[in-house]
């Protein structure tokens, strides 16, 4: 991920500025229930407004599947944005055409409006050139502040950026900088934690990380697959037995790349996947036939913590155990808190992302302490896989 254009490169004064934000916020009964995504985009909007731009805020909301379905209207989002910004945000009942134009035409320099859901048109997700032209008709310059949709080449994330002078907004800039500091030019040693249920969903992530990082910590259900591949009897644990060969190949590739792979040396086992199930700590070679590993054990945590202390950067995706059910959250919480302490002390850059990971770090009470927590599930994973993201490619310098 080389250099990219920021809004410093754009001349926005008196211009119509199309901002692709991610305002796909949770709603209940027509009310926004969590404004995090709205709050995070305010800095970009304020700056563009202060520079005299005529700011057009756009986003998708839910999956209206190319139809004008009032269930997915952005109107309540415009109201919530108005509250967050302390000003009225005029709302256009369409995202293209005369209704959109009419509202945009009323904007003076520094004013902000919001358009209706981009996904009311099938052309959005299809990146249809005709729909791109309709969007391009509304604006002079383009700003993308939605890293979370950057892995999709949609009209508003890719096609339009090719038509207008384009740049990353401040939120996207922060995300790109954090990601680049973590894996492209990181302070070494770099550790990666890959946990979660299955390796089959994270093959590319594991492969790419093994070639880039110094230490690869494997946890969660997927650790069982690796242990099984190494001849460990994992009892009733979640395990993809059919992936044994793939897991072995990965371990060989990691070793060739000079990457140290760390697997659990002990585990917390139970007979059922349930909160507060009767459990015990066992050596990884002594997993009872009728039990399953639901968390890494204390010896593993001690080993991982000691290794982490030698590291300067950590990239984290996926929990070390079934963190949603007590007491199987212990290893995830302990390592997350260790990383948070080091981050606070200024000795570690910590970047994490992916749906479950955000929840796990929140649960550990360290979401705010990590250097950067990406809420962009799919885009974060594709970035971890080393893929070029279409929405990022179009804002490259
Ligand atoms: P993922 O979506 O792949 O990141 O997986 C996250 C899920 O993996 C969480 O819901 C965890 O409960 C689950 N998980 C983590 N460790 C284990 C384990 N040892 N056994 C079963 N499920 C696990």
Looking at residue 201, its pLDDT comes to 87
Q: Is residue 106 part of a domain?
A: yes
Q: Which two tokens stand for residue 190?
A: 């770099």
Domain count, the chain: 2
Largest CA distance in the chain: 72
Whether residue 207 lies in the annotated active site:
no
Share in percent of the chain as helix, strand, coil (round to 5): 45, 20, 40
Decide if pLDDT at 395 tops 90: yes
Q: Is 396 a catalytic residue?
A: no
pLDDT > 70: percent of the chain: 99
pLDDT tens digits, one per residue of 189-242: 999 999 999 898 898 899 999 999 999 999 999 999 999 999 999 999 999 999
390 falls within a domain: no
Grade residue 375 by pLDDT with cuts at 50, 70 and 90.
confident
Protein residues with CB under 6 Å of any ligand 1 atom: 196-198, 201, 220-221, 238, 293-294, 318-319, 321-322, 324, 356
Domain presence at residue 120:
yes
User: What's the confidence (pLDDT) of residue 71?
Assistant: 95
What does the pLDDT read at residue 2?
Answer: 60
Ligand 1 atom showing the smallest separation from residue 202 Cα: 3
Catalytic-role residue among 46, 198, 236, 271: 198
Give me the mean pLDDT over the 267-273 stretch.
98
Query: What CATH number does residue 85 fall under?
Result: 3.40.50.1260
Q: Which domain holds residue 20?
A: 7-170
pLDDT reported for residue 328: 98
Mean pLDDT of 174-191: 92
How far apart are the C-alpha atoms of 74 and 72, rounded to whole Å? 6
Report pLDDT for 355. Answer: 73
113 within domain boundaries: yes
Mean pLDDT estimate for the chain: 96
CA distance 142 to 161: 6
Atom of ligand 1 nearest to the CA of 267: 19
Over residues 23-44, the pLDDT tens digits come to 999 999 999 999 989 999 999 9
pTM: 0.90
Q: Which atom of ligand 1 lies at the shortest distance from residue 220's CA?
A: 16
What the block records as the tokens of 232 is 């460990």
Note the Cα 212 to chain centre separation in Å.
Answer: 19
In a domain, 89, yes or no: yes
Q: Are residues 225 and 319 in the same domain?
A: yes
Question: What are the tens digits of pLDDT across the range 318-360?
Answer: 999 999 999 999 999 999 999 999 999 999 999 999 878 999 9
């Amino acid at each position: 991920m080389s250099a990219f254009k920021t809004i410093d490169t754009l001349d926005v004064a008196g211009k119509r500025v199309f901002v692709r934000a991610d305002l796909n916020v949770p709603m209940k009964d027509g009310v926004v229930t969590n404004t995090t995504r709205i709050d995070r985009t305010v800095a970009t909007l304020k700056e563009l407004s202060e520079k005299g731009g005529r700011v057009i805020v756009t986003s998708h909301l839910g999956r209206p599947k190319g139809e004008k379905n009032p269930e997915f209207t952005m109107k309540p989002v415009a109201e919530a944005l108005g509250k967050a910004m302390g000003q009225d945000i005029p709302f256009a009942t369409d995202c293209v055409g005369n209704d959109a134009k009419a509202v945009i035409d009323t904007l003076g320099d520094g004013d902000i409006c919001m358009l209706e859901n981009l996904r009311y048109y099938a052309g959005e997700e299809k990146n249809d050139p005709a729909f791109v032209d309709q969007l391009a008709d509304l604006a002079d310059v383009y700003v993308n502040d939605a890293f979370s949709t950057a892995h999709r080449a949609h009209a508003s994330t890719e096609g339009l950026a090719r038509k207008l002078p384009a740049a990353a907004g401040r939120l996207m800039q922060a995300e790109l900088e954090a990601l680049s500091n973590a894996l492209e030019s990181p302070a070494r040693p770099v550790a990666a934690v890959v946990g979660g249920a299955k390796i089959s969903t994270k093959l590319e992530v594991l492969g790419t990380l093994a070639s880039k990082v110094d230490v690869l910590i494997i946890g969660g259900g997927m650790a069982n697959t690796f242990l099984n591949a190494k001849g460990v009897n994992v009892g009733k644990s979640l395990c993809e037995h059919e992936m044994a060969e793939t897991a072995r190949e990965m371990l060989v590739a990691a070793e060739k790349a000079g990457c140290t792979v760390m697997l659990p040396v002990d585990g917390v086992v139970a007979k059922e996947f349930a909160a507060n199930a009767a459990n015990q700590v066992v050596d990884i070679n002594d997993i009872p036939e009728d039990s399953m590993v639901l968390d890494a054990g204390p010896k593993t945590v001690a080993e991982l913590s000691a290794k982490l202390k030698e590291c300067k950067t950590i990239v984290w995706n996926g929990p070390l155990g079934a963190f949603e059910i007590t007491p199987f959250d212990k290893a995830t919480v302990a390592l997350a808190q260790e990383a948070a302490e080091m981050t606070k002390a200024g000795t570690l850059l910590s970047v994490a992302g992916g749906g479950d990971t955000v929840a796990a770090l929140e649960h550990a009470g360290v979401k705010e302490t990590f250097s950067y927590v990406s809420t962009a599930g799919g885009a974060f994973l594709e970035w971890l896989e080393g893929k070029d993201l279409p929405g990022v490619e179009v804002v490259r310098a």
